Amino acid sequence: MAQIHPPSPRRHKGARKNIRLSRNLEVEVLYEDKWLLAVNKPAGLLIANESWERTQRNLMRLLQDGIEKWAHWAVSRGLRFLKNVHRLDAPTTGVLLLAKSKPALRSFSELFRRRAVEKIHCALVAGAPKSENFDITLPLASHPKIAGRMIVDAKQENPHTPHVDVLDCKGFSVLVRVKPLTGRTHQIRVQLAAVGLPIIGDSLCGSGDAPRNSRLQLHAAQLTFDHPFTRKQLTITAPIPSDFRCRRDWAGHFTIDSRSPRAATAGKCQNPFFLVR
């Protein structure tokens, strides 16, 4: 039987850079080179292996189907392999790295294993922060009865310590920037809830403000790392999503330098329970 090969890669003048997976679903491409494809993951899509979940909500399954069916976005890039380097929760938006080959997957995965990737998430939370910046020193462990669920467990010896900066607050909602050191499942959601700052729209860990049809207000805003092939530092930023329930004047907080937070102060904050020590 004759072997069928996919069409040769072709670059069309003026071809769109983004990936259209269906009539109603287009994935924004944030960065691309011969080894890496970084996309802005839409809310509501799982990052799961085919064996875990065969559903139209599985982003990796949709991407793999496009490669197998020689979709234009895959053919134009010459893609025969595409695999997520890390994961984001289904309701979370933001930067997601996809490796274009197995050697690239190993190299980029090693960066995460060595904690050589600086991750910045932004979240809209309910509650009253007691400081404009703080670390959460709460160890995590797997839930004893629910698979895939994480809980705070004081018996664990190694705390997973994210750093939190309070950027601004409007009314009773607070915008925070979180820099996690590890990538444990649900880490940011569990730890913020444990210190009385549940993310708005979080049905998993409980939220102080969860209006109808509100998704989880958590966004993977930025990744910074030394590219294992070019040896240059690379920063990839995902713009604020349109359905993030915050005011427009907060949009700039998602791309500011992580070393100089524009923290709120007690004098201008509208939340009467917000204190700066």
**Residue 104: which H helix or E strand, with range?**
helix 102-113
Maximum Cα interatomic distance, the chain, rounded to a whole number of Å: 76
Q: From the candidates 33, 65, 89, 153, give the one annotated as an active-site residue.
A: 89
DSSP reduced 3-state for 191: helix
Q: Is 89 a catalytic residue?
A: yes
How far apart CA 260 and CA 264 sit, in angstroms, is: 12
In single-letter form, the type of residue at position 266 comes to A
Sign of dihedral through CA atoms 14, 19, 24, 28?
A: negative
Report how far residue 230's alpha carbon sits from residue 112's, in angstroms, rounded to the nearest whole number. Answer: 17
Distance in angstroms (rounded) separating the CA atoms of residues 216 and 44:
10
The structure tokens listed for 121 are 């998430």
CA end-to-end distance (rounded Å), the chain: 74
Quote the Cα angle for 60-118-184, to 5°.
55
Which residues are known to be catalytic? 89
